[in-house]
Chain A
Amino acid sequence: MDRADVIVVGLGHAGCEAALACARLGLDVVAVTLKAERIAVMSCNPAIGGTAKGHLVRELDALGGEMARAADLAGTHQVTLNASRGPAVRATRVLCDRDAYARAMQGALAAEPTLHVLEGEVAALLSEGGRVTGVALASGQQLAARAVVVTTGTFLQALMHVGAEQSVGGRLGDAAATGLSASLRALGLTLGRFKTGTPPRLRRDSIDWARCTPQPSEARRPFSLRTDAATLPAPTVTCAITHTSAATHAVLRENLHRSPLFQGAITGRGPRYCPSLEDKVVRFPEKGRHTLFLEPEGPNSPLVYPAGVSTSLPADVQLRFLRTIVGLEAVEVERFGYAVEYDFAPPTQLRPTLECKAVGGLFLAGQLNGTSGYEEAAFQGLLAGLNAGLQVRGAPPLVLGRHEAHGAVLLDELVTHGVDEPFRMFTSRSEHRLTLREGNAEWRLRAHGHRAGLVKAAEHQRTLARRARVDAALGWLSAARLESTLQRPGVRLHDLPGHPDLPGDLADEVETEVKYRGYVAMALASRDRLSRTEDAVALPEDMVWAEVPGLSAESRETLTRLGPRTVGDVRRLRGLDPAALELALLYALRPVSRGTPHGGKLGKTPRPPESSTNPES
């Protein structure tokens, strides 16, 4: 039986980062994937980044990941979202040439001498005494390893729907993985079912571009710290905007009965932030039109991705409603939109390192964990791969704090709260949003990447030198008493007499740190105050939630399982009905003076801290 240090199952966006991380630690990696030519394929939108996702990409890059670099190489068009809404929500989105992106990532894999790609289907995980020992392929071949990272995306028991037609497959043009679900279950994992969808692909030359509003690219800026701005090619693609019309909505409404979603043929839960067009028309009848972004899949690609028209209606309906849209009157559809249903593994079964609680050495990452999106998958892939590698090397794991990265918020949300729909990252999920910017990912995370062994010493030094320049500028501002001047709206660093000469990105950083200082301090103080007052209210140690009347069964279950210790803990729990918090408050604050024999009905009598040695209790 062949052996490796780490086996990575699946080379999608999670798997590529996982395999690269392990290889960069110097470990022997075997990566098994269904089709080698489909490595790092973008299943859906050919774009990397966007709100919160751009942040993940920058964080991934600072830690030593590959996604930002591949997007720089394959980028064709770039926009900055939320440009005027603040530096912490400002986000980069790079449209890529779909094929070039996959090629760039495949090139990175090929450059790693200790990484071997094997084409095949992993049908089972091998284990012994609660620890994973390797994998068995559908071909019968077995491979041994000290750790296994599973990143099979949407492929487990995958079912595709186009209208009433169903076919087996994780993605158009790919098969499904059929053995692995049973194997995961046999290891004690629970699986759930989700669904997601993708819009039709349009033929570029069948669109009347003159009737749409052009959306040109901004000047290209590097996503990756490893990319030299001077080497970035100019934008090669122009996108366009158009809108649906009343006629579009009429076609959709008339054909709702033919949608598998409305018929109930799809049972998996889909994401609320990615509604199908038929869904939008039903839920927001007052909206007269919906926006479509027409995004060419590459400078020479004959295909266009229309963002905003996810659908699982039958092909004939798709064609009819598309042709009611301005500019698409004569559109030809290359591939129709479809929905995919697949198995996922609820991530509360994982440790913060993404290792399974039940099976040592087995790590799960990517859409398999109930997330959605390339960036979310890639971030998990990097952390899972890195932690698998660190475990094999006997080194301590890397677990980031929520205040350090949006990626850490992503992982924490997954493993502590779980998911009830395909999970996408949003910046509002972080209580530290103002300090987790795309612009400062470098200083937040590069040191971690360096310590773990993914970031080279020279790259780390460069980051330290850049930080020194920012600090010097901050020192100059304070010595010159110009901080309050810079804090005024509209004032920029280069408006100040005698300002230090800094490259644009560093000047931005200086301005943001100064302008936001007050708000950040206030937010911190407020959070402190909240946690002080609520965390100070302790709940009885042996609170018996199961006996509390008036609570829903789910709330009782959650409270019993998670055992909150303070009122603050209760507030932070999710999915409780509001009454649970009221009850905790009332119970904790109730007078204890009299009637303990019957007052204690809700829980046992709260014990004073010292009395735990009391033989009576």
Chain B
Amino acid sequence: MSSTIVAIATGPATGAVGIVRLSGPAAVDAVAAITRGLPSPPTPRFAHRVTVVAADGAALDDGLCLVFPAPRSLTGETVVELQLHGSPRLLALVQARLLEHPTVRLADPGEFTRRAWVNGKVDLTRAQAVAALVEARSERAVRAAAAALGGATASRLGGLERALRALHAEVEAALEFPQDVEDHELTVAPRLAALRADAEALATAAGAGALLSREPAVVLYGPVNAGKSTLFNALLGEERALVDPSPGTTRDVLEARVEWQGLGLQLKDTAGLRDGAQALEARGIARGRAALDEAALAVCVVPAGAARAPWEAEVLAERRLDVASKSDLHAEGPGLRVHQHDGKGLEALRRAIVARLAPTADLGVLLSDRQRASLEQLRAHLGAAAEAERLSTLEVVAGELALASAALAELTGTGAGRDVLDEVFARFCIGK
């Protein structure tokens, strides 16, 4: 990789410090060409005081310059960081100056990480985490991506992989060397149970992770005039939707992004449901139903005291949260009670929504769709292995473990050149 890449490493907003980062063989040259005060050669990992100059020699800014020679750097290549004042205009100017160097070009999104990964500085889950971090929009998503970047996902998958390989090796050792490994020495059942629990937890975490990358839709629905639009506005804290005493006010689906307890959501208000709606209103209701079909959570809004059953029947209970609106008008009733006009019950409703979508405090593991499909395969084969352990023979258990290993290898993106026999020979005293 002969080119050198440059990018502004800090966010687009104005801040106290802004960083411009370069990686590649020409990093030092490029910086030396636009600064005064950088010794040649620069001292590795030392903060040099430098002045960045414009093409005509005029000083642009004073700052610090740090040089991390290859391979002991973020990317494994020579990395130079310029720490300047955090003005976006200034940083763009400095970047443009650096791009005047013939072999320096602008980095592609995620390219620093790609290079780090290619040079063996981070593994695939971490490389993916960087991509997720770049796209993360809610606080939780940022924290989950940061955890993955710290290696949490990698170590979690690594743990699962080690346990599965060890168990598979134990079973194969018994099958290939029956005289060396006897039945009573096998510990398949408990180890399999532990593996299944880990895979289960991973699936839950991956579900939570999926919420973070694809912000879930929460849809308010219910009969006309139930107070959905009023509730929508109250939850947003602004007057987005038109509210009116006449039924059938809302027609289009209204959307707004909210972030509660760090979790980003798409909140939607829909047309009230009723029979016998006329053409235009009926089209609005159809749109509302379509939104309802795709909702991660449907909030069934029915005035307190009114019959709920017909409206609740629209959506299965596991995807539905029941709310009694206009609780000021009726003293009793089931469901979460809200009084939109004075804000009573609103915070409880927000908390209930977040709790339903993200039941654990687990930050979530960020997996791609492809990886989640592999995880499902892994769980299916571990389940089949456990069943075979009770009802069938050890060779069937071994077969399912082999398939589980293949699924896990697919999930982690590794697995080339891994042979269960290597594991058998390394772990077991076998052979004559």
Residues B377 and A529 in contact, CB atoms below 8 Å apart: yes
A86 touches B1 (CB 8 A): no
Establish whether residues A307 and B432, one from each chain, have CB atoms under 8 Å apart when the complex forms.
yes
Stretch of B82-90, B340-348, B405-413 lying at the A interface: B405-413
Instruction: Mark B residues whose CB is within 8 Å of A.
Output: 1, 3, 105, 108, 114, 117-120, 123-124, 127, 172, 174-180, 183, 370, 373, 377, 381, 384, 388, 391-396, 398-400, 402-403, 406-407, 409-410, 413-421, 425, 429-432
Is A583 positioned at the interface, with any CB of B under 8 Å from its CB?
yes
Within A518-535, the residues touching B (CB, 8 Å) are 519, 522-523, 526-527, 529-530, 533-534
- Identify B119's interface contact among A283, A489, A549, CB under 8 A: A549
Which of A89, A534, A548, A595 sits near B108, CB closer than 8 Å?
A595
> Closest CB of chain A to B236's CB: distance in Å?
35
3 A-B pairs with least C-beta separation: A86-B395, A86-B393, A578-B414
Contacts beyond the supplied A84-B183, A291-B180, A429-B421: 7 A-B pairs with Cβ under 8 Å:
A81-B178, A84-B393, A86-B395, A273-B425, A431-B402, A529-B377, A579-B120
Q: List 5 A-B contacts (CB under 8 A).
A: A85-B395, A273-B431, A428-B172, A578-B414, A598-B108
How distant is the Cα of A530 from the Cα of B378 in the complex, in angstroms?
12
Q: Is the CB of B414 within 8 A of A582?
A: yes
Is there a chain B Cβ closer than 8 Å to A335's Cβ? Answer: no
Q: Which of B118, B178, B388, B398 contacts A550 (CB 8 A)?
A: B118
Segment among A206-214, A476-484, A498-506, A568-576 that sits at the interface with chain B? A568-576
Nearest chain A residue, comparing its CB with the CB of B76: A550
Residues of A within 8 A of B420 (CB): 428
User: How many interface contacts (CB-CB < 8 Å) are there between A and B?
Assistant: 157
B186 CB to closest chain A CB, in angstroms?
A: 10
CB pair A581–B176 under 8 Å, yes or no, is no
> Which A residue's beta carbon lies closest to that of B177?
A51
Q: A428 and B429 in contact (CB under 8 A), knowing A519-B396, A575-B417, A576-B416?
A: no
Known contacts A519-B399, A549-B119, A586-B117, A427 near B175 by CB under 8 Å: yes
Q: Which B-chain residue is minimally distant from A272 (CB atoms)?
A: B425
A88: B residues at CB distance < 8 A: 395
The complex places the Cα of A377 from the Cα of B431 at a distance, in Å, of 19
B78 to chain A, nearest CB (A): 14
A290 interfacial by beta-carbon distance below 8 Å: yes
- B contacts with A: majority SS: helix
- From B3, B175, B417, B421, A576 is in contact (CB under 8 Å) with B417
Q: Which residue of B lies closest to A292 (CB)?
A: B432
Q: Are B395 and A89 in contact (CB under 8 A)?
A: yes
Once bound together, how far apart are the Cα atoms of A489 and B388, in whole Å?
Answer: 10
Check: A104 CB closer than 8 A to any chain B CB.
no
CB distance from B381 to the nearest CB of A (A): 7
Q: How many residues of A contact B (CB 8 A)?
A: 70
A489 touches B416 (CB 8 A): no
**Which of B105, B118, B425 has most chain A Cβ within 10 Å?**
B118
Residue of A nearest to B180 (CB): A291
* B406 in contact with A530 (CB, 8 Å): yes
Give A519 to B118 CA distance when docked, in angstroms: 40
Residues of A within 8 A of B418 (CB): 578
Partner of B175, one of A82, A284, A526: A82
At the interface, yes or no: A594 with Cβ under 8 Å from chain B?
yes
Docked CA distance A281–B114 (Å):
46
A120 interface residue (CB < 8 Å to B): no
A322 to B: closest C-beta gap in Å:
15
A85–B399 alpha-carbon span in the complex (Å): 12
CB distance from A202 to the nearest CB of B (A): 15
Do A52 and B176 contact each other (CB < 8 Å), given the known contacts A85-B394, A307-B432, A428-B398? yes
**B391:A433 contact, CB within 8 angstroms:** no
Distance in angstroms from B107 CB to nearest chain A CB is 10
**Judging by beta carbons under 8 Å apart, are B413 and A581 in contact?**
yes
Q: Which residues of B contact A273 (CB under 8 A)?
A: 177, 425, 430-431
- CB-based nearest B residue for A594: B108
Q: With contacts A84-B183, A529-B377 known, is A599 near B108, CB below 8 A?
A: yes
Q: Which of A82, A86, A274 contacts B431 (CB 8 A)?
A: A274
A242 within 8 A of B: no
CB distance from A454 to the nearest CB of B (A): 30
Could you tell me the distance in whole angstroms from the C-beta of B101 to the nearest C-beta in chain A?
15
Contact of A433 with B432 in the complex, beta carbons under 8 Å? no
A601 in the interface (beta carbon within 8 A): yes
Residues of B within 8 A of A586 (CB): 114, 117, 124, 127, 413
Task: Indicate if the CB atoms of B395 and A573 lie closer than 8 Å.
Answer: no
Minimum CB distance partner of A283 in chain B: B429
Contact B392 A519 (CB under 8 A): yes
Cα(A238)–Cα(B256), bound, Å = 83
Question: What distance in Å separates the Cβ of B80 from its nearest Cβ neighbour in chain A?
Answer: 19
